Amino acid sequence: MSRIVLATLNAKFIHAAFGLRYLFANLGELQTDAEIIEFDINQRPLDIAETILAKNPTIIGLGIYIWNATESTELVKILKRVRPSLTIIIGGPEVSYETNEQEIVHSADFVVTGEADLKFGEVCRAILKGEPPPRKIIAADLPELARVELPYRFYNDRDVAHRIIYVEASRGCPFTCEFCLSSLDIPVRQFPIEPFLAEMARLLERGVKHFKFVDRTFNLNLATSRAILDFFLARWKDGLFLHFEMIPDRLPVELREIIAKFPPGALQFEVGIQTFNDEVSNRIKRRQNLARLADNFQFLRSQTGVHIHADLIAGLPGETMESFAAGFDRLIALGPQEIQVGILKRLRGTPIVRHDSDFQMSYGSEPPYEILQNSVLDFATLQRLRRFARYWDLIGNSGNFVATTPLIWSGGHSPFYSFLALSDSIYQTIHRTHEIALPSLMQLLMDWLYENRSLPKATIAQAQWEDWQRAGRTELPELLRPYIAHANGKHTQNQAVIGLKRQRRHGKLPA
């Protein structure tokens, strides 16, 4: 039994709750009377409540995020009805802003807003002493990162073996992009580098191979980013994989030299471009140098083995379909392995709401608060873009169609409008965006390419066969048998590495 239970609902099992581990690491003497219990959003709130209550806790700390807010609200209501004396403390980005409007805030006992690493333990001590805080909403001051106990030893062996390991060398963001909560995190703060690298060394010794850095701007501080890259390069082993979020227009020669030394597939850069429209960028206070961005992409694609995951957002105020299409085509020409087409979300607390009146921005009232329509994109158009994003993830991003995807815009057609036409066709044929078997998707692609690009089915089949084998598959699919004379060559099944199957299919990671 534990007096304090720290819990959250992860989006998937493979996602370890980074925030809970920070809270646990900083509980001090209360650690021995606390434990972390993780769930995921596919579990029923009733069953989660049963597991938590079986621990007979006095205090429950729940991490609330955009992906679990609905389920967590139901969970809190169940817990309070079954055991009214239970003290429930909630925190996280979803409940750090606009607290008065949220049902979960009314149901919980206390809300710690902001970075709660140190404040959560302080609140627990007061409650256990019988001196609870006088107010429900408790604002946590930005902690000095040198005082924050690092959480990495609280990744257990199961986490190391089966989950993504999140790490961070800094917090905050120097930019003021109005759609992003990180724009409120000023200033950027660095964790002391030596203790951080010592923890990374211990994770390596425990067998961690996949490190996902959650720093919003990894390449902002040149000294820190160089130290981290040098550290991992010096300890390189096959299978090591590092994910960073980077500023797309900042890649000085000192970083280029180190990045170029890593083996193909060792690094993944998540590059937030969001829009190529200068007018829209200025409107939402996003600063970026597009010429430098293009030069950095050219360097990364031609002189390194970095896997680039680039982001675009549809639905920004004033971004028309034509403008977004031009940006998508421009990004395709830069050659990232993945393009995430996101739909604008109105995250709680973000200043994007200042454009609501001028651009008639209308958002969903429930998480994830996606844009429904605005003055230049009506509801039907945004629905098409949602389907575009989903089918693009299945086809353009998945690594299952690396050779086949460029055929969609063959003959000099626009990549965006070509894929939009394919997306419309797929939806009109099957009327769904999920649970589409890979052979069915291959058939849909073949039919569309044959009818709309006048490509011989043998040509399409050859591209699909190359793609099929790229993932280590060896048995010739029924669809391709009329066009592929025989299947030969050596193909071995890829070894599973958490979160890397898609990158491996893109051809940069060793099997």
DSSP 148-174: SPP-GGGS-HHHHHHSBEEE-SEE--S
Q: What is the dihedral of CA 326, 451, 392, 490, to 10 degrees?
A: -120
Domain boundaries, the chain: 4-143, 164-373, 378-511
Angle value at C-alpha 251, between 342 and 352, nearest 5 degrees: 35
> Does the global pTM surpass 0.85?
yes
Beta bridge partners of 59: 4, 87
Identify the architecture of domain 4-143 in CATH.
3-Layer(aba) Sandwich (3.40)
Q: Are 44 and 62 in contact (CB under 8 A)?
A: no
Q: What is the dihedral of CA 317, 397, 261, 197, to 10 degrees?
A: 70
Low-confidence ranges of the chain (pLDDT < 70): 183, 185-186, 486-499, 508-511
Do 4-143 and 164-373 have matching folds?
no
DSSP code of 461? H
How far CA 149 is from CA of 145, 251, 401, 444, in Å, comes to: 8, 31, 44, 52
Question: What's residue 495's pLDDT?
Answer: 37
Q: Are 169 and 43 in contact (CB under 8 A)?
A: no
* pLDDT per residue as tens digits for the range 313-345: 999 999 999 999 999 999 999 999 999 999 999
Alpha carbon distance 409, 406 (integer Å): 6
* pLDDT per residue as tens digits for the range 209-250: 999 999 998 998 999 999 999 999 999 999 999 999 998 899
Alpha carbon distance 19, 34 (integer Å): 15
Q: Which residue has the tokens 């403390």?
A: 89
Alpha carbon distance 483, 263 (integer Å): 36
DSSP code of 108? S
Question: What's residue 369's pLDDT?
Answer: 96
Identify the architecture of domain 164-373 in CATH.
Alpha-Beta Horseshoe (3.80)
- Give the DSSP H or E segment for 230: helix 222-234
